[in-house]
Amino acid sequence: LEAFREYSGDKPNPGMGELVDLQSDLLQSGWRALRPGGLLVYSTCTLNRFENEDLVESFLVKSNAETLDVAALLGLPSKPEEGQALRLWPQDWNGEGFFVACLRKPASETFIAPASQSPSLMMLGEVLSPSQVEDV
What residues act catalytically?
45
Residues with Cβ within 8 Å of residue 5, at least 6 apart in sequence: none
Q: 25: exposed, middle or buried (C-beta count within 10 Å: 0-12, 13-18, 19+)? A: exposed
Q: 75: exposed, middle or buried (C-beta count within 10 Å: 0-12, 13-18, 19+)? A: exposed
